[in-house]
Amino acid sequence: MFSKPSQRESAYSSESSAAPLAATVIAKGVKVEGDFASEGDVVIEGQVNGSLSTSGRLTVGNDAVIKANVKASEAHVSGTIEGNTTVEHALELSASARIVGDIVAQTISVEAGAAIEGKMNIGEQAGSSSVGRTNGKASVGKNAFQSKSKEESSEEDDEEES
């Protein structure tokens, strides 16, 4: 009734609990429709439509297109996300990244050339209502994030036309 587990049973249980989760890969040319969730890392090279959630790291490849609300622990984006993006820790956007939707993250790193259209809520205040808005191209200098609001862009356009 209260027997000791055999060596075979204890070896199996220690192997399964110690095994790391493999990354889930959506390859180029693959299209996923619906709600997609993972406990491990996720690499998207293809297309996802619906919702995407991972408790691990999300990597979005150059040619990837995500038309979904996204939630991840960390994310590195080189492709396109059309939907709201929530990242618990660090969000990295490469020069080829394009996000159309609101962003919530603890920290964000943006390479020059990345395009962001939507509200951004970054840092410790990530749950508050104080939100910055950026439209068009966002770029980063050596030490400062540079982004133009709609009003600033309109004023500059008016000045150029005169």
Q: Tell me: the pLDDT tens digits for 9-29?
A: 444 444 445 556 789 999 999
Task: Check: pTM over 0.75? Answer yes or no.
Answer: no
pLDDT on residue 134: 46
Task: Report the percentage of the chain scoring pLDDT > 70.
Answer: 63
- Asked if the model's pLDDT at residue 69 lies above 70, the reply is yes
Q: Tell me: the pLDDT tens digits for 105-144?
A: 999 999 999 999 999 999 864 444 344 444 444 444 333 3
* Domain range list for the chain: 21-161
Three-state SS across the chain? CCCCCCHHHHHHHHHHHHCCCCCEEECCCCEEEEEEEECCCEEECCEEEEEEEECCEEEECCCCEEEEEEEECEEEECCEEECCEEEEEEEEECCCCEEECCEEEEEEEECCCCEEEEEEEECCCCCCCCCEEECCECEECCCCEECCCHHHHHHHHHHHHC
